[in-house]
Chains A and B, each alone.
Chain A
Amino acid sequence: MPLLDLDPDVVATARELAARAAEPVVRIATAHTTVAVERATLRLAGITGADTTHRAGDVPWVNRVVDTVREHCGLEHGVVLPAFHALREHDLGSLTDLAEATAAGQIQYRVPAGRDAERAAKAGRVAVAKGLRTVDRNRAQRDRLITRFGDPPRRPWIYLIVATGDIDEDVVQAANAARAGADIIAVIRSTGQSLLDYVPEGATHHGFAGTYATQENFRIMRAAMDDVSKEVGRYIRVTNYASGLCMPEIAVLGGLQRLDMMLNDSMYGILFRDINPIRTFVDQRFSRQVHARAGIIINTGEDNYLTTADAVDAAHTVTVSQLLNEHFAHEAGLPDELLGLGHAFEINPKVPESFRLELAHALLARELFPDAPLKWMPPTKHMTGDVFNGYLLDGFFNLAGVLTGQSILLVGMMTEAVVTPFLSDRDLALQNVRYVLDAAAGLREDFHPAPGGFIVKRAHQVLGEAVDLLDRIVRDGLLNAIADGTFGLMKRPPDKGKGADGVVEKADGYRNPAADLLESGETK
């Protein structure tokens, strides 16, 4: 039941403005491809593994092939036509054979024409469709396991992060966390992975402040959590990060290994990793199409804005970003139930009425996106190292989550900004969550902010500011707004940033069976 009495016309205007702001960017996204989109396509077509003999270390085969194709004949027509043409021309048995022959310098790629082009496109489509059917099967398998083991007994689902750097240790910590009440396990990635223009291979044991996202690590964690799901009698969801320069590939790997949620924000890479804006929007669209196909819930990153900007002054930028993320997600085929739009409890606790402001912001998100599994993120900016105060603040964060009907609750750590959490920190944090969820389980029923009162007024004000900002973005253009530092105070011009050289404008004859199959939903 709505509590904020939001004006439906204002809400409709906000959505319409978001759509208009996004429209030119979607047009740019569909007119370009990137090296990462092409590599993701090859991964769906079945290439795995890496060139272990390369002097630069293990270079994934998809990188070898895409880089070589680009060098020989460009990527304007996509990688599929030249790759599958070469496969037939050289009578090779598999794409991995092709990759090895590429590395040995035996392949000269070219863009086929006429019947050759049709044949290559058809062969490519058969191979990619096979990969997508694996994604489809994983989705069905997830549904079966949820039916068998059950969903968590209540909302919000409890989301917990592990980050040891070693996938084997992660499994131990994740299993313990699930037994202690976590419903969702997120494996934080190694610092710096977002700026790698390739996906590392195999099981990894030496990450920095996190563990590398690799297909094998995904498989290990999912398999371990399947066992734990059986043990604890509820389906434990696994999360990783489709962000950075390999967004589309990681999305594919997540789909192939039955991950359940992925961090995927439309602007995070641009603002916080200084990744080229065009690269990000192209990669984001493809990755979200893959998530939609895989039934993966995306988590957006609005919490990040509040760690750099002031959480009161910038509250409306969160709303604007949520609306943009929603539009980009819908455009890529993601339904509301897969939209884990993010927001966070980051107001300075010294601000008078800070808790009421938090409630207003959280409730606004809840009522703007009633069907989205909102992700509610804990305080980080005002965690000072005083762990006792931090524990109290996390308790209020948990209470705000229950009171405003949040869907996914990321468990706050009192040792935030001090150390990577100890086993005991995580245990205490889960006790905190359990206490609040038990003690105030039904409190939402009694929570009716006074009509025209502080909370209602504040929510209206934030929505109004969001509409004004969206209006300005529509007038200036979203890319210009990003360049001007509208979000999170970061200025990111469209021609700058990392990975810009991986963006390619599509030619008229561009073919990508993965894009076709994702758009149409076909399986063959």
Chain B
Amino acid sequence: MSSIRPYGDTTGDGMVQTSFTLPMPPGPKAEGAAMQLANKMGIEPAMVVHSHGIGSDFTFFVVYGSVRHLVDLDAITVVEREYPLLSPAEVNGEVRKRLRRKLVVVGGCIGTDAHTVGIDAILNIKGFAGEKGLEYYRELKVVNLGAQVTVPELVKRARAEKADAVLVSQVVTQRDAHILNTQEMSAAFREAMGDRRPVLIAGGPRFDPLMAGQLGVDRVFGRGTTPGEVASYLVHAMKESKGVAA
């Protein structure tokens, strides 16, 4: 089956639920406005099941209804994981076998971003989602530079540590800061090190894995990525790149 519709309680009913706020006082006119928006969103028929005023100038709505859109499964492009998931022991084994030294990972939050929660979830031994962070891997040497690292500082440290991979995390997205910061970072590495640059990895809840090219990095990880996925990718990148394996 190549096309599907949302499922409420019956196959093909197309039912969805959504909520939004309109900048107008509550009342019949506001409900009509919500209905119109729902219809324009493809929800038809729509039911405004709840509305209430927020202060005197805004109204909040909850809408249920059937969308007329179909999802065409053949037209979907996503980044499928291009490498096998490895256990920490397997990662350590591969690194030992191929590098005969520790694989060096330098990470941090660049720009003004002070949200280290993402990079820490991946790097700190504490880890994320029940998986230990990269610090836990015996054959990985992790240098976590923490928050608000400048790009020149990151390049300098990556060089000094002879980093095989650089991980940057970006949480703040106002005015596309996450995109601009990451592009600045990848350009700086290309300029400073050319082909000898480390593997560049960007992560953050608002990144789409399809953005790697646009950002100038080798791999992008989005929301919900676990340390094990990143570690497995590092092994994959090590195998791919002769520069690292040499």
Q: Which residue of A lies closest to B54 (CB)?
A: A427
Q: Return the contact of B55 from the options A176, A273, A489 (Cβ within 8 A).
A: A176
Q: Which residue of B lies closest to A490 (CB)?
A: B146
Q: Mark A408-442, 1 if CB is under 8 A from B, else 0.
A: 00000000010000111001100000000000000
The interface on chain B, measured as residues whose beta carbon lies within 8 A of the other chain's beta carbons, has a size of: 27
Q: Does A308 contact B (CB under 8 A)?
A: yes
User: Which of B5-13, B26-34, B75-83, B110-118 contacts the other chain?
Assistant: B110-118
Residues from chain A with Cβ under 8 Å of B114 in the complex: 191-192, 194-195, 272-273
Q: Does B162 contact A (CB under 8 A)?
A: no
Report whether A309 and B126 are in contact in the complex, using a CB–CB cutoff of 8 Å.
yes
> A307–B121 Cα gap in the complex (Å)?
10
Given contacts A422-B21, A489-B126, contact A274 B120 (CB under 8 A): no
- Looking at chain A's contact residues, the main secondary structure is loop
Report whether A489 and B60 are in contact in the complex, using a CB–CB cutoff of 8 Å.
no
> A50–B23 Cα gap in the complex (Å)?
39
Report whether A424 and B177 are in contact in the complex, using a CB–CB cutoff of 8 Å.
no
Q: Which residue of B lies closest to A206 (CB)?
A: B175
**Of listed B21, B114, B126, residue having the most chain A CB within 10 A:** B114
- Looking at chain B's contact residues, the main secondary structure is loop
Report whether A307 and B54 are in contact in the complex, using a CB–CB cutoff of 8 Å.
no
> A310–B55 Cα gap in the complex (Å)?
39
Q: Does B3 contact A (CB under 8 A)?
A: no
Residues from chain A with Cβ under 8 Å of B112 in the complex: 190-192, 195, 208
Residues from chain A with Cβ under 8 Å of B58 in the complex: 423-424
Report whether B223 and A423 are in contact in the complex, using a CB–CB cutoff of 8 Å.
no
Residues from chain A with Cβ under 8 Å of B148 in the complex: 192, 195, 273
Residues from chain B with Cβ under 8 Å of A490 in the complex: 146
Q: Does B39 contact A (CB under 8 A)?
A: no
Distance in angstroms from A434 CB to nearest chain B CB is: 13
**Of listed B21, B172, B174, residue having the most chain A CB within 10 A:** B174
Q: Does A179 contact B (CB under 8 A)?
A: yes
Report whether B147 and A209 are in contact in the complex, using a CB–CB cutoff of 8 Å.
no
A to B contact number (C-beta, < 8 Å):
64
Q: Does A78 contact B (CB under 8 A)?
A: no
Q: Does A277 contact B (CB under 8 A)?
A: no
Report whether B126 and A180 are in contact in the complex, using a CB–CB cutoff of 8 Å.
no
Report whether B147 and A273 are in contact in the complex, using a CB–CB cutoff of 8 Å.
yes
Report whether B147 and A179 are in contact in the complex, using a CB–CB cutoff of 8 Å.
no
Within 8 A of B (CB), among A189-211: 190-192, 194-195, 208-209
Report whether A208 and B19 are in contact in the complex, using a CB–CB cutoff of 8 Å.
no
Residues from chain A with Cβ under 8 Å of B146 in the complex: 274, 490
Residues from chain A with Cβ under 8 Å of B20 in the complex: 424
Q: Does A513 contact B (CB under 8 A)?
A: no
Residues from chain B with Cβ under 8 Å of A209 in the complex: 172, 174
Report whether B147 and A274 are in contact in the complex, using a CB–CB cutoff of 8 Å.
yes
Distance in angstroms from A502 CB to nearest chain B CB is: 17
Q: Does A521 contact B (CB under 8 A)?
A: no
Q: Does A165 contact B (CB under 8 A)?
A: yes
Report whether A208 and B177 are in contact in the complex, using a CB–CB cutoff of 8 Å.
yes
Q: Which residue of B lies closest to A196 (CB)?
A: B112
> A90–B21 Cα gap in the complex (Å)?
62
Q: Which residue of A lies closest to B60 (CB)?
A: A424
Q: Does A452 contact B (CB under 8 A)?
A: no
> A180–B55 Cα gap in the complex (Å)?
7
Q: Does A449 contact B (CB under 8 A)?
A: no
Residues from chain A with Cβ under 8 Å of B177 in the complex: 208
> A209–B146 Cα gap in the complex (Å)?
19
> A165–B115 Cα gap in the complex (Å)?
17
Q: Does A385 contact B (CB under 8 A)?
A: yes
**Of listed B55, B58, B175, B205, residue having the most chain A CB within 10 A:** B55
Q: Does B124 contact A (CB under 8 A)?
A: yes
Q: Which residue of B lies closest to A192 (CB)?
A: B112
Residues from chain B with Cβ under 8 Å of A176 in the complex: 54-55
Q: A-contacting residues of B (Cβ < 8 Å)? A: 19-21, 54-55, 58, 60, 111-117, 120, 124-126, 146-148, 172, 174-175, 177, 205, 223
19 inter-chain pairs at a CB distance below 8 angstroms, sorted by A residue, are: A176-B54, A176-B55, A180-B55, A191-B114, A191-B172, A192-B113, A208-B112, A208-B175, A209-B172, A272-B114, A273-B147, A273-B148, A308-B116, A308-B117, A422-B21, A423-B54, A424-B19, A424-B60, A489-B126
Known: A209-B172, A272-B116. 16 other contacts (CB 8 A): A176-B55, A179-B55, A180-B54, A180-B55, A190-B112, A192-B112, A194-B114, A274-B147, A307-B117, A308-B117, A308-B120, A308-B124, A422-B21, A423-B21, A424-B20, A424-B60
